[in-house]
C-alpha cells in the first residue's frame, strides 16, 4: 500500500483556527540520486516566551535542509545540532526568564521510506490500517 500523507498548516489558539503557523513547515529537495525528499517540521515552545523565536528556528532548519549536501539524515542531524548549539548559547547569555526551549519533530519522506527525528518534548501520531 502506498504511503499517504496529509498536511494542513493550521494553528488553533483558544478555539480559533489560523493559517498563521510559524511552528509548522514543509520543504522539498532532491537527494544525490535525484529522488524527491520532503521534510515536515513541527515545533512547540516549551517555555513561556519562546514563541517569539519559533518561526526563525523552523525556517532555519528548513533552509539548512534545502542547501546542505550529504545524506538526508546527516543534513537533518547537523541542522538540529546547529540550532541546538545556537539555543544553548542564547540561553547561556540571558537571564532564566528570557531563555527559550522547544520540542521538535522532523519527518522526512522519500519514496516509501520515512525517517522521524525528535528532540525535546514532542509528539507524533501514526495512522495505519
Q: Write out the chain's pLDDT in tens, 129 residues.
A: 444 445 555 555 666 766 666 788 889 998 888 889 999 998 888 888 888 888 889 999 999 999 988 888 888 899 999 999 999 999 999 998 889 999 999 999 888 888 888 888 887 776 666
Give dist(CA 87, CA 82) in Å, integer: 9
- The helix/strand/coil state of 49 is coil
At residue 3, the pLDDT reads 46
Give dist(CA 36, CA 51) in Å, integer: 31
Q: Which residues pair with 11 in a beta bridge?
A: 18
At residue 13, the pLDDT reads 60
Give the 3-state DSSP-derived string for 1-16, with helices as H, strands as E and coil as C. Answer: CCCCCCCCCCEEECCE
Amino acid at each position: 500500500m502506498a504511503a499517504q500523507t496529509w498536511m494542513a498548516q493550521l494553528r488553533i489558539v483558544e478555539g480559533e483556527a489560523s493559517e498563521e503557523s510559524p511552528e509548522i513547515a514543509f520543504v522539498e529537495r532532491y537527494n544525490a540520486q535525484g529522488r524527491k525528499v520532503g521534510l515536515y517540521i513541527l515545533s512547540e515552545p516549551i517555555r513561556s516566551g519562546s514563541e517569539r523565536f519559533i518561526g526563525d528556528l523552523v525556517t532555519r532548519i528548513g533552509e539548512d535542509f534545502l542547501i546542505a549536501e550529504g545524506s538526508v539524515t546527516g543534513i537533518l542531524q547537523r541542522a538540529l545540532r546547529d540550532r541546538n548549539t545556537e539555543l544553548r548559547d542564547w540561553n547561556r547569555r540571558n537571564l532564566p526568564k528570557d531563555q527559550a526551549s522547544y520540542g521538535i519533530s522532523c519527518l522526512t519522506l522519500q519514496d516509501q521510506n520515512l525517517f522521524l527525528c525528535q528532540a525535546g518534548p514532542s509528539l507524533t501520531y501514526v495512522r495505519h490500517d
